[in-house]
A and B are shown apart, each in its own frame.
Chain A
Amino acid sequence: MLGLDKKDTLMLLVVTALVVFAPILLNPFPAESSMAQFNAGYPDLMQRFVIFGILAIGFNILFGLTGYLSFGHAAFLGVGSYSAVWMMKLLTMNVIPAILLSVIVAGLFSVLIGYISLRRSGIYFSILTLAFAQMSFNLAYSVLTPITNGETGLQITLNDPRILDGANAPAYPNLFGAQMNEATTLFFGGWSFTFSVGYYLCGIIMLLSFYLSIRIFRSPFGMMLRAVKSNQQRMNYTGLNTKPYTLAAFVISGMYAGLAGGLLASMDPLAGAERMQWTASGEVVLMTILGGAGTLIGPILGAGFIKYFENIFSKINEATLEAWFAFLPAGLEDFVVAIIYPFVGKGWHLTLGLLFMLVVIFLPGGLVEGGQRVAKLFRRRDRQTTDAEPDTTRQGQIPPAE
């Protein structure tokens, strides 16, 4: 189907199903129960899952395939956001032109940075991209404030020109009138599920991006990129100049980042400079490695994992914990709360750091490898593994399968 083999089609279908039913799947607990804290099925977080999924998918095309570790990808995200907000300020609140512009501008920006940075490889390349991104961040925060609105972030205001919008056009990002923040909530017993326009738009775009990335992975171009990662020397002695390939991968992944930035701004019309900081670039790297670099679905898992922690664990406070463990005898309750408290709420960074370490130590191939191991347990080893999989996974170089 769609030019994919059976396995890929199945994977695409599974991801599609997950995206479509996410509002239900992510809200497994009744809204009023104490476990509702762990529900992630509200529009903003679901949007972030898929948007950062797009970002990570794009990053993976560069890092997972070519092995070039960019530490400045957040710059493209930021540039995409700024372009989108400007489009919404000047032309129209319709998100289509905004998203298109953000992809184009991020693409151009990545041609520039990629062309220069790709003159070097390895850590020298990483530091060059980092330097460009940090420059962008520092300038956006201060000197470029007329364009970026600095610390506060670029916002839409009531008196923006918006020359294409009529007087009655919605004052919120919309798709031909359907506002991104519109949502319908379905109550079912104690459960409530929110279906939002913005989320489904992001979801569709994410599925398209995911499909595109499968096609790239399975194309001769994708194979060339993997060959670049594997052995540049041999590429050179096969008559291939690797630079156009790496630059193309860089620009594609930059455009993915721009798309993610444009979507972020479309869901929530504000572009903050922090999006370009090195920590944001580092976050993309972490998402990709955590999920499984070079695998198709890994980056999406990684993105979901980190965003879940950032948004769910940071909101657990002492009172929440006390409510959970209220069934315990008072002394024991306090003890349990005291044990858990440092790891949630303001300590969510600690949990995240520990999980990074645990995943890298025990699952060198990232979360995808964890999934594979679980799947293996269920398969009962009735089929013999044919290829040299264990050998490659040990080295953290997963063939791009799942």
Chain B
Amino acid sequence: MDAILLQLLNGLDKGSAYALIALGLTLIFGTLGVVNFAHGAIFMIGSFCAVTLSKIFALSHKAAEPSGKDFLGNPKYDDVLYITEWFGDDIGNWMIDWSVPLAILFAIPIMLFIGYVMERGLIKHFYKRPHADQILVTFGLAIVLQEVIKYFYGANPIPTSSPEALRGSFDFGVLIGFDPDVIIYPVWRLVYFTFSTLIIGAVFAFLQFTTFGMVVRAGMADRETVGLLGINIDKRFTIMFGIAAAVAGLAGVMYAPINSPNYHMGMDFLVLSFVVVVVGGMGSLPGAVLAGFLLGIVESFASMNEIKAIIPGIDQIIIYVVAIVILLTRPRGLMGRKGVMEE
């Protein structure tokens, strides 16, 4: 029982990451009709926003006096952080400790801007082009983005830690009546889950309750008609692209402490996020979220030893098996609409 509950937690946690990425992908697809292979790269850039902010906080100058010798035996000078000099040790160290959550504030404008530039500068010209062209150009963009990151940050993963207070694990089982030490779960992963749920909720609320969201939803359903009403839907869609980029970026920022960011993490997520979106049904936001959680949970359960003992290697392929089964039984995924991307 405790094992199942643990895997359920894992599944929800993984699923929340999948859902967040898929949500952004679906927003772009549903509103703009563009298949965006660069979406994984945007997620990756989000993670690197966290890395960058902690690097900025760690900017330093050399101390005047040497404190020892370096590995070649030359005099070594200690680094003095600007941030502690400017804000004092307490605030400075607090900022360094909390750099990942602070990176959210840092990332939002950056991601909105990247999304805006991408849409206006590139994607805009591809609305009328075949999906194959969109795939090629966004894939090219994804490669360029990750290579640029690699150029500046190298290929190695870069450790990025969560704030001290949110590190370590938390005895989740005690809360729900288990013995102590049975269901222990990392605090940051619970934070991630909560954060994702909030963002997903916020996106849905935004689309549901604002005029802007209403227009966008109407546009997703029938772009031409909304255009006929004299509403400048294109401009709204540009903003939507920015929002989608911000959602993926925030997913990336918060993911940084879970797994150290590296330049190709976007590609690792790319295939998976497409599977999630398609299983959810092209163009369906609830479908994307549902499929994200579903696949996350299924993947977690498949990696249980009891199940691997019955079917060896099932955890390697479970996502694809589920995808195939769903697509064969439900032609348009879980909640897809008819006629979308079926040509």
Binds B, one of A5-13, A14-22, A78-86, A134-142: A134-142
Known: A122-B342, A361-B137. A278 touches B271 (CB 8 A): yes
Q: Name the contact of B143 in the complex, choosing from A127, A289, A349 (C-beta under 8 A).
A: A349
Q: Name the contact of A135 in the complex, choosing from B132, B317, B341 (C-beta under 8 A).
A: B317
Q: Which residue in chain A gives the minimum CB-CB distance to B155? A: A346
Q: How many chain B residues touch A (Cβ–Cβ < 8 Å)?
A: 46
B151 partner residues in chain A, CB cutoff 8 A? 342, 347, 350
B141 partner residues in chain A, CB cutoff 8 A? 353, 357
Determine if B316 is an interface residue (Cβ-Cβ < 8 Å): yes
Give the dominant DSSP class at A's interface. helix
Give complex CA distance A96, B332 in Å. 44
Give complex CA distance A135, B278 in Å. 17
B278 partner residues in chain A, CB cutoff 8 A? 123-124, 127
Give complex CA distance A395, B128 in Å. 8
Give complex CA distance A164, B144 in Å. 51
The digit string for B146-189, where 1 denotes a CB below 8 A from any CB of A, is 11100100000000000000000000000000000000000000
Q: Which residue in chain B gives the minimum CB-CB distance to A293? A: B132
Among B146, B279, B320, B324, the most chain A Cβ lie within 10 Å of the Cβ of B320
Known: A121-B343, A354-B144, A361-B137. A396 touches B324 (CB 8 A): no
Determine if B235 is an interface residue (Cβ-Cβ < 8 Å): no
Q: Name the contact of A289 in the complex, choosing from B136, B148, B271, B327 (C-beta under 8 A).
A: B136
Q: Name the contact of A364 in the complex, choosing from B129, B317, B321 (C-beta under 8 A).
A: B129
B148 partner residues in chain A, CB cutoff 8 A? 350
Q: Which residue in chain B gives the minimum CB-CB distance to A68? A: B343
Closest chain B CB from A164 CB (angstroms): 34
Determine if A352 is an interface residue (Cβ-Cβ < 8 Å): yes
B147 partner residues in chain A, CB cutoff 8 A? 347, 349-350, 353
Closest chain B CB from A273 CB (angstroms): 12
A128 partner residues in chain B, CB cutoff 8 A? 323-324, 327-328
Q: Which residue in chain A gives the minimum CB-CB distance to B332? A: A124
Determine if A373 is an interface residue (Cβ-Cβ < 8 Å): no
Give complex CA distance A352, B139 in Å. 11
Determine if A28 is an interface residue (Cβ-Cβ < 8 Å): no
Give complex CA distance A111, B141 in Å. 35
Closest chain B CB from A118 CB (angstroms): 11
Q: Name the contact of A131 in the complex, choosing from B133, B313, B320 (C-beta under 8 A).
A: B320
Known: A127-B278, A128-B324, A278-B271. A360 touches B316 (CB 8 A): no
Determine if B312 is an interface residue (Cβ-Cβ < 8 Å): yes
A143 touching B312 by the CB < 8 A rule?
yes
Determine if A186 is an interface residue (Cβ-Cβ < 8 Å): no
A282 partner residues in chain B, CB cutoff 8 A? 139
B140 touching A124 by the CB < 8 A rule?
no
A397 partner residues in chain B, CB cutoff 8 A? 130
B144 touching A124 by the CB < 8 A rule?
no
Determine if B334 is an interface residue (Cβ-Cβ < 8 Å): no
B331 partner residues in chain A, CB cutoff 8 A? 119-120, 124
A119 partner residues in chain B, CB cutoff 8 A? 328, 331
Q: Considering the complex, which residues of chain B in the window 99-145 have a beta carbon less than 8 Å from any beta carbon of chain A?
A: 122, 125, 128-133, 135-137, 139-144
Give complex CA distance A290, B136 in Å. 8
B17 partner residues in chain A, CB cutoff 8 A? none
Determine if B289 is an interface residue (Cβ-Cβ < 8 Å): no
Determine if A116 is an interface residue (Cβ-Cβ < 8 Å): yes
Q: Which residue in chain A gives the minimum CB-CB distance to B129? A: A396
A127 touching B313 by the CB < 8 A rule?
no
Q: Which residue in chain A gives the minimum CB-CB distance to B134? A: A360
A124 touching B324 by the CB < 8 A rule?
no
Q: Which residue in chain A gives the minimum CB-CB distance to B324? A: A131
Known: A123-B278, A142-B313, A364-B129. A286 touches B320 (CB 8 A): no
Known: A127-B278, A134-B271, A289-B132. A357 touches B137 (CB 8 A): yes
Determine if A65 is an interface residue (Cβ-Cβ < 8 Å): no
B143 touching A130 by the CB < 8 A rule?
no
B328 partner residues in chain A, CB cutoff 8 A? 116, 119-120, 128
Determine if A69 is an interface residue (Cβ-Cβ < 8 Å): yes
B321 partner residues in chain A, CB cutoff 8 A? 131, 135
Closest chain B CB from A372 CB (angstroms): 17
Closest chain B CB from A169 CB (angstroms): 37
Determine if B27 is an interface residue (Cβ-Cβ < 8 Å): no
The digit string for A171-182, where 1 denotes a CB below 8 A from any CB of B, is 000000000000
A357 touching B144 by the CB < 8 A rule?
yes
Give complex CA distance A290, B132 in Å. 10
Give complex CA distance A357, B332 in Å. 31
B313 touching A123 by the CB < 8 A rule?
no
Q: Considering the complex, which residues of chain A in the window 287-310 have a beta carbon less than 8 Å from any beta carbon of chain B?
A: 289-290, 293
Q: Considering the complex, which residues of chain A in the window 256-294 have a beta carbon less than 8 Å from any beta carbon of chain B?
A: 278-279, 282, 285-286, 289-290, 293
Seed contacts A135-B317, A352-B140; 16 additional CB < 8 Å A-B pairs = A63-B132, A121-B343, A124-B327, A127-B278, A128-B327, A130-B274, A131-B321, A138-B317, A285-B135, A289-B132, A350-B143, A350-B148, A350-B151, A356-B136, A356-B137, A395-B130
The 4 closest A-B pairs by CB, nearest first: A353-B143, A356-B140, A143-B313, A350-B147
Q: Which residues of B contact A (CB under 8 A)?
A: 35, 122, 125, 128-133, 135-137, 139-144, 146-148, 151, 267, 271, 274-275, 278-279, 282, 312-313, 316-317, 319-321, 323-324, 327-328, 331-333, 341-343
24 pairs across A/B with beta carbons < 8 Å? Answer: A121-B342, A122-B343, A123-B282, A124-B278, A124-B333, A124-B341, A127-B278, A128-B323, A131-B275, A134-B271, A135-B316, A139-B317, A282-B139, A286-B139, A289-B135, A342-B151, A350-B143, A350-B147, A352-B143, A357-B122, A357-B137, A357-B141, A359-B136, A360-B136
